[in-house]
Structure 1
Amino acid sequence: MSRKKYILIFFVIILLCLSLVSYSNTTIGRVLRFGPANANDYLEFPYHEISTTSTYFKFGEANLENIVKSRFYDVTYGNNQKVGDLDQFLEDTDTTSFIVIYKDNIIYEKYYNNYNRESIVTSFSISKSFTSALIGIAIDEGYIKSVYDPITDYLPELKKRDPRFSNIKIIDLLHMSSGVSYKEPPDDIYTYFAPDLRKLALEKTQVVEDPGNSFLYNNYNPLFLGMIIERSTGKTVSEYLEEKIWKPIGMEFDGSWSIDANDFEKMESGINCRAIDFAKFGRLYLRKGNWNGKQIISTGWSVASTAPYGPENNEYYPNIPIFKEYPGYYSLMWWGIRRDDKNYDFYAAGNHGQYIYVSPEKNLIIVRNGISYGKGMESEDMSWWPIIFYQFANQFPSE
């Protein structure tokens, strides 16, 4: 047999092996089958449905499009680049949905790159902020005793494997300071594609430092929180979200939460809905957990979740721009930027530039979804979107 035929047979065998692996229910198989994380992943993963009610909340409307465009025009990012024409900027940066709400009125709502108002967008890590809300509600309802409970009270398997897990409290998971090892790669791949996320978190995680010492963005933390919600409430995370948030605040559309191959929510990334309903979640926190007179989340929890957090340890946050060059922080699975000693903006953020940005002082909500962050919108360890939103909000009067 000629050398060329040997090579051809070799490559055919390799392709067949890859094909077989891609259809296997393994992490590598799912990586090959689904490909890199993208805005259409809601079409790939199975999901739990999240139903809404027949009546939904509707924002008011005010025709302030020209004012919005003019206030964004001179906003700068990156190497002193200007936003300029807003429509062109949003189209060029792979934006799909862009909504600005001021004093409960939609003053700008547009869709780009073949998306429309009914297009489904994927939350990516915005789901972490929803998870934080559900933990707060579970505490309010007595399912969870305290945010200072050791996680091993709910996940005793961890203590049997390593007694140091009993030092980790629920609040350490929320602050992203659990002391659990996390490296990118491979942990970002495991926590996104593993077919059994419960097993992954319970059996493969390692404690490498004392909790509370340093911030490390870690996708194992929301997996632990999801299991705590399941075990304490006796419900799936999706059921609890539907019952406690989705229906009570009148989401306009049904949503879904992507799951692994074992019926567990992708806690780090998987809520799928329409942009306008993300805005309602922002409104819930803008109003400190109150929805038209009904307290959905306790005021104390909603404030604690978003308020500035920074231990006296100067080495707590990593040396990246959002913490060092801007007055940024990370609270209970919400990011934030201080304005002054009393005021701050906060935001939920997800991969590829998904944002729910809230400025309480300005009575402002901004939602941005996208296929990617957009060209020029990322530099090393930095996304410019929150800085753009912050500058835009600066031009509104304080409440």
Structure 2
Amino acid sequence: MDLLSPTPAHGEALYTEELRSHLETWKIHDVVILRGGELLWEWHDKNIDRVGAIYSCTKSILSALIGIAIEQGHMIGIEEPVTDFFPLAAADDERKHAIRIKHLLSMTSGLEWPDFDKPYWKMKRTNDWITFVLSQPMAHAPGEAFAYNSGGSHLLSAILTKATGQSTYAYAEEHLFQKLGFRKPRWNSHDGIYEGGAGLHLTSGDMAKFGQLYLQGGLWNGEQVIPRSWVETSTTIHHKGLAHYEPPIFGEYGYHWWISTEAHNGVVDYCFAKGYGGQYIFIVPSYDLVAAIRKEPEGKSSAMAAKQLLFRHILPFCS
């Protein structure tokens, strides 16, 4: 299935003068919209799709890989303790024995990680990222509180590497990227571990394909690439997350996926992968729609522009 092969430009009428102005004002770089599994409209500010950083959208890709690895028997499941992979992790605090895979996926490990991922930047300046994350003190019991933690995502990448005996990139290439026909992904690594919280570079077209895979319940060309049960559980709300954050660029949280209900956003139920500054993969089941949007990263609040594009232009056009 090549969703981005030449097709009739069904969405040409979407490209109004108003939208053209907004794309410029909002510093949007790329838009790929799929509806019903077909390309509805594609736009790129440089007239060509490019491999680029997707930042924390990487987390949702990693979530899919964890689901695949569990299905293949490389991991016991979401209840497996992190100390099965890092036996010395609880040396300084017995409560760390209670941290499970599910807690890393739902950002509820209990590790102290304040100021919306601020320790992530400190982690990146150290030589041993894994030790840095595992040595953080416990602020809460696992499962009790949400704290956005890219360090925990990096632990998941390290766990996947230990469990499968392959690098995260090699495992992704074999079980996901090749199956969807991704175009030369790049993935940053440190000390032999591919970065779990960010670091992946994809085309916007491949971002859309990944969203379509989830919209189809993990099925691609007749093959169950990701277990349907994992697609469902990873996009189910496991914590209220950042539902009350203003502006409302986030939502509630699943397993490395954000979820926003109509009650939260006033428009429609959907889930999404989100990267720094407004990189999004939106999945809107009631519209049978996927939208991959990339913009100039200018900070957290500027990410609202991508949501405005979805709410003010894309969904009304598809109504």
- TM-score of the pair, normalised by structure 2: 0.88
1:385 aligns with 2:317: no
Distance 1:161 1:318, change over 3 A: farther
Instruction: Provide closer, same or farther for how the CA distance between residues 176 and 387 of structure 1 changes in structure 2, counting only shifts above 3 A.
Output: farther
SS of alignment partner, residue 207 of structure 2: helix
Q: Name the structure 2 match of 1:188.
A: 120
Task: Describe the superposition over 1:202-233 as per-residue Cα deviations: whole angstroms up to 9, x where unpaired.
Answer: 3x322111111121111111011111101111
Give the aligned residue type for 2:10: L
Contact 1:307 1:331 in 2 (8 A): yes
Q: Report % sequence identity.
A: 25
CA distance in structure 2 between the aligned counterparts of 1:318 and 1:213, rounded to whole angstroms: 16
Alpha-carbon distance in 1 for matches of 2:13, 2:123: 42
Report the Cα offset of residue 192 of structure 1.
4.0
Q: Aligned runs of 1:73-152 on 2, under 5 Å? A: 85-112=18-45, 115-152=46-83
Once superposed, what is the RMSD of the aligned Cα atoms?
2.7
Note if 1:269 corresponds to 2:194: no
Which blocks of at least 5 consecutive residues in structure 1 are unaligned? 1-55, 71-83
Q: Which amino acid aligns with 1:386?
A: K
Q: How does 1:28-43 map to 2 (within 5 A)?
A: none
Please name the residue that 2:252 is paired with. 329
Answer yes or no: is the 8 Å Cα contact 1:215–1:318 preserved in 2.
no
Higher mean C-alpha deviation, range 387-396 or range 115-124: 387-396
Alignment of 1:63 onto 2:9: yes
* CA-CA distance at 1:199 after TM superposition: 3.1
Structure 1: how far apart are the matches of 2:74 and 2:44?
40
Q: 1:288 Cα shift?
A: 0.8
2:223 maps to 1:291: no
Q: How many residue pairs get matched? A: 314
CA offsets 1:175-219 (integer angstroms, 9 cap, x no match):
1111111124751312444443223223x3221111111211111
2:161 matched to 1:226? no
CA distance in 1, matches of 2:297, 2:244: 24
Which of 126-135 and 183-192 deviates more? 183-192
The letter of the residue matching 1:140 is E
* Larger-Rg structure: 1
Distance 1:153 1:275, change over 3 A: same
Helix, strand or coil: the match of 2:277? coil
Contact 1:255 1:272 in 2 (8 A): yes
Distance 1:188 1:383 in 2: 23
Distance 2:77 2:222 in 1: 26
1:348-386 CA deviation, whole Å, 9 max, x = no partner? 000021111111111111111122258xx927xx73533
1:306 aligns with 2:243: no
Deviation at residue 87 of structure 1 after TM alignment = 1.9
- Aligned partner of 1:46 in structure 2 is none
Shift of the 291–129 alpha-carbon distance from structure 1 to 2, 3 Å rule, reads same
Secondary structure, counterpart of 2:255 in structure 1: coil
Say whether 1:256 aligns with 2:256. no
Amino acid at match of 2:301: E
